[in-house]
Structure 1
Amino acid sequence: MQIFSIFAFIIVTLIAYVKWSQTHWKRRRVPHLEPSFLFGNFENPIISKSKRSMPAHFLEFYRKLKEKGLKCGGVYTYFAPMFVIADPAYNKHILLKNFHEFHIRDFYCNKKDQPVSLNLVTSEGEDWRKLRIKFNPTFTTAKMKIMFDLMMEVAKSMGNYFRGHATRKIPINAKQCGEYYTTDIVATCSFGLDCNSFKNSTFSDLVKHLMHDSFRFTRISFCFAFPKLANFLGVPLFIPKPTQYICDLLDKTVKERVGSNIARKDFRQIIMDLKRQHEINDTEAHGHCVLFLLAGFETMGVALTFALFELAVNQEIQTRLRNEINKVLNKYGGESSYEAIYSIKYLDMFINEILRKYPPVAILNRTSVTDVRLPDADFVIEKGTKIVIPVIGFHHDPEYFPEPDKFDPERFSMENKQNVKPYAYIPFGDGPRSCIGERFAKQALKVGIFSIVKGYKLKLNPTVKLPLEFESSFGLVPATDILVDIQEANQVIR
């Protein structure tokens, strides 16, 4: 009986604590969305059939706040309070203008049980500033030109892959192709690894397994909402076994470089130099490498997947892009050079629209480092408040992008891009903590899309039923495989 009483007391106390926690915004008189018990504004992950991703939830929060006429407001991830932004002017205030008040990203990092989860993204304060300065030289124009040739080699492998499918009249799986391409791009440009996933997908499958597991949403959302508790319980950010395999492989490349006295101007070399200068240790080196590999795999893979999809669906856009490519190639004597690809304006417009409709970084999170009052707000954001900027919400808001579900590269023409509301389009974030790999990602996409459209005509396989439903862990990834029929264009692949 006494044990039952103690158990009942614990249950009642926990219920009372949850209910009290879910009055956080009400007690502070901050506009908010009303939560449900325990799960807050999230759906119940146990009984829900939709299994929506984190970005999908915050897209819904954004729309509900806008419906209420609010520029921002509180929500609850389970019973943890989060503050959601729904006005682009506040994006500028947080990311750039008053960066010093919101410079903490507050990403989950389990340094004790999985020290490899400490990296450039999860680092804070002076540690982050020093690392950012060290890594900035990775993506200078000179380095990007060097990486261009490496990217073209990967694109040739993809071209051979396409040619084989076209010859045998076998459709391309767009998502799989995106994963293979981006794995090889990051592996060769950043670590000097020759994976050739189009022939042997072992390494790409390993990275995919590291990114996506059965309990990813539950684990990530829990860590996102309760980082201290997750740390106490030892919840890993990455699946341990494949993470260790990748770290061992990276160590092997270092030994080979040192033994052969090879120095490459890539990301791995910067990591090696930092270790030599005793500015980072082995574990931190592994963390930065794993981050760069996973970030590139997810963001560029998503973008290329949907580039193939939109090209296959929008035949007029595909034809125009091919015509623009041929026009520029004729100007450059048929040479697929760095200068040629960067002069194709419509290719740039196309990629910008891909990044709008399918943002690689679907949500941005920050934490206030002091009590802050946003402009025109009659309440204070307290120190330590977790803030979320739902990039996906702004990118799909008809106020800023009419007919947001329509794929239209003309939004980013020279005439129209000046009409885009400032800070309503932030595919890689903005300010001092914007994505350091933006130039790298865009160039990889340009090379990939250029090589595909130049050599092949794409059409959506008739077995694919529209509309498709898209979900992911970080952004939008197809839940249904996108199959694309291909045939060779009437020109030689260079």
Structure 2
Amino acid sequence: MWWILAAIAAVLGYWLLTRPHKYWIKKGVKQGNPAFIFGESWAQTMQKQSFPEMVEMVYNMCPNTRYSGFYQFFLPTLVLKDPDLIKQITVKDFDHFVDHQPFIPEDSDPLWSNNLFALNGKRWREMRATLSPAFTSSKMKYMFSLISQSGEQFVNYFLKQNEDLITVEMKDVIANTAFGVECDSLVDRKNEFFLMGKEATDFSNFWKNLKFILYFLAPKLSDLFKVRFFSEEVNKFFTSLVKINIESREKHGIVRPDMIHLLLEARRNGLKHEESHSIQDTGFATVEEHEFTKNAKKIERVMTDQDIASQALIFFFAGFDTVSSLMSLMSYELAVNPDVQNKLVQEVDETLETCGGKITYEGLLGMKYMDMVVSESLRKWPNTVTTDRISTKPYTIEPKYPDEKPLHLEKNSSIWIPIFAIHRDPKYYPEPERFDPERFNDENKVNIKPYTYLPFGIGPRNCIGSRFALLETKILFFYILSHFRIVPVQKTPIPLVLCKKQFNLNARDGFWLGLQRRNKI
């Protein structure tokens, strides 16, 4: 008798575990063949597929559709493929899709849950409206001197080595610019700031990945056990660091043109959008602040040190990982595409001469080819592999083609915009694997289909720091190419293979490249 009960229990269990994977079929939406329990996340969870490869697979598994369904474990997720539909949901009907999918319980990790990316609803609107004036072109010009100083520091470290060819792993930090912390992580690879930053952004850690899996499999269990995004050590370190920094500035009247200063200004007096039409923007990839948040109500209460620490950490987090990944990938492309690098070096030299030997903000932003190279780097290797939204209220996607019917989405439905895959769709970018900055010259960039180039996201919830990331990237490469050429070395992986152990863009064997001292005539 017991074996009959066991068989019934097994059949019932199997039915309960496979039932969630019928969600899209019942709604008449095409889907792939989800694996038992894991859905489309099986290969990526088992580290047999990188996250960007998983995004491409999901995008391509139901061709000739405006959207299709897949499963993150048991979570049904709708993939948007059609540029017009992406615009409809992320811009025109943004009020239905304001929030990101939460993946850490809100009250378990204050440092994470209070940052701009994690905030939802009214709290996000107020914080975005409060912070967005800190990222205008005029504020970037204000911070230019400090960013430039960091670029000089980076290059001077290698110039002092007095070698013709230096082999280097091209991923580093932005500590001096974002946090106002005087430390040189190139010289001291064991300083606490660098080590805490590495831990905070390391997604190859088994236990950190297990947290994400636990949330998708058992969100209520995650809530019960108060799963944290950052470790207790990282939380304490960065919170204390920012608070001590703030206390020191206020006590001694210290002013530095950095992000902490702008956050403090937002707390004291509030910041206003002060755009000057005479200031060039930071490049083609720059995303504009939407009227939705420009005109939104700002935070009425006084920003706490915890608020500032949370925002500072997410800016650091983005810079430490995503911007350093962009710089590393752009370095790789320049190394394996010497014709592109030669043309960029020529523009660097011409700009330096025009500026009288010292780069200026206007001189840097006037570099057309530099912007083309950065834009193509972000096309081929977008910082954000995919972005998501959840529906904050019921929504219907109306049919556009004869084989479609109205798709009714319930509240809290999960949506994906697969940026990495869209950027590599040959329908929009012929020969997508080829690195070709000419896609973004004056003649060609006007032909790029709207909503198919999304390196910093889209709509009111786009990346607030696009100007900062672009400015930082350009100044670093200006200084590097003023003195060095970036070349492949024996340890350089050609072709580059993406790491399968992390969610973010990283090379499996590291970004090993050579800095070859230029022989200037």
* TM-score greater than 0.5 by the shorter chain: yes
Greater alpha carbon shift after TM alignment, 233-242 vs 96-105: 233-242
Match of 2:360 among 331, 337, 342: 337
1:72 maps to amino acid: Y
1:127-206 maps to which residues of 2 (within 5 A)? Answer: 127-164=123-160, 167=163, 169-174=165-170, 178-179=171-172, 183-184=173-174, 187-201=175-189, 202=191, 203-206=193-196
2:482 to 442, 454, 462: 454
The structure with more helix, counted as a fraction of residues:
1
Which residue identity lines up with residue 63 of structure 1 in the other structure? Answer: N
Match of 1:293 among 316, 330, 338: 316
Question: Deviations along 1:304-354, whole A, 9 cap, x unmatched?
Answer: 001111111111111100111212222232321111111110000000011
**CA gap 1:350/1:447 in 2 versus in 1, 3 angstroms:** same
Match of 1:19? 18
Say whether residues 1:235 and 2:235 are aligned partners: no
In structure 2, runs of 5+ residues without a counterpart are 269-299
Which among 193, 198, 221 is matched to residue 208 of structure 1? Answer: 198
Measured after TM superposition, the shift of residue 85 of structure 1 is: 1.1
Distance 1:283 1:53, change over 3 A: farther
1:289, CA displacement in angstroms?
1.9
- Offset of 1:483 from its aligned partner? 2.0
Q: Name the CA shift for 1:275/1:326 in 2 (closer, same or farther; >3 Å).
A: closer
Report the counterpart of residue 111 of structure 1 in structure 2. 106
Q: What secondary structure does 1:467 align onto?
A: coil
Distance 2:244 2:520 in 1: 41
Alignment CA distance shift 1:244-1:6 (3 Å): farther
1:456–1:487 contact (8 Å) kept in structure 2: yes
* CA deviation vs aligned residue, 1:75-107 (integer Å, no higher than 9, x gap): 011122111111222211122121112111123
Q: How many pairs does the alignment contain?
A: 479
Quickly say closer, same or farther: Cα 1:295–1:155, change in 2 above 3 A: same
Helix, strand or coil at the partner of 1:388: strand
SS in 2 for 1:370: coil
Q: CA deviation at 1:144?
A: 0.8
**Corresponding residue of 1:84:** 79
Identity of aligned pairs, percent? 29
Which of 255, 259, 275 does residue 251 from structure 2 map onto? 259
1:484 and 2:513 equivalent? Answer: yes
User: Match of 2:339, SS?
Assistant: helix
Whether the 8 Å contact between 2:150 and 2:177 is mirrored in structure 1 is no
Q: After superposition, what is the alpha-carbon deviation per residue over 1:60-83, rounded to whole angstroms, capped at 9, x for unaligned?
A: 1002123xx222111011122111
Rate the CA distance shift 1:291–1:59 in 2: closer, same or farther, 3 A: same
Matching residue within 383, 386, 391 for 2:419: 391
Asked if 2 retains the 8 angstrom alpha-carbon contact of 1:115 and 1:284, the reply is no
Q: Is the 8 A contact 1:395 1:425 kept in 2?
A: yes
1:387 aligned counterpart, secondary structure? strand
Which of 38, 62, 65 is the matching residue for 2:62? 65
Deviation at 1:143? 1.6
In structure 2, what is the equivalent of residue 33 of structure 1? Answer: 32
Is the CA contact 1:165–1:171 (under 8 Å) kept in the aligned structure 2?
A: no
Name the Cα RMSD after superposition: 2.5
Separation in structure 1 between the aligned mates of residue 86 and residue 16 of structure 2, nearest angstrom = 33
Match of 2:453 in 1: 425
Corresponding residue of 2:260 = 268
Deviation readout 1:16-61 (Å, 9 max, x if unpaired): 3211111111222222112121111122567x352x3444322210
* SS in structure 2 at match of 1:65: coil
CA–CA distance in structure 2, aligned partners of residues 434 and 446 of structure 1: 21
- In structure 2, do the counterparts of structure 1 residues 227 and 410 end up closer, same or farther at CA, with 3 Å as the change threshold? farther
Q: Distance in 1 between matches of 2:519 and 2:499?
A: 36
d(CA) in 2 for partners of 1:211, 1:121: 15
- Structure 1: gaps spanning 5 or more residues: none
Distance 2:225 2:6 in 1: 21
State the TM-score, normalized to the length of structure 1.
Answer: 0.90
Deviation at 1:6, TM superposition (A): 9.6
CA distance in 1, matches of 2:66, 2:167: 45
Opposite residue 354 of structure 1, the aligned amino acid is S
Residue 219 of structure 1 corresponds to 211
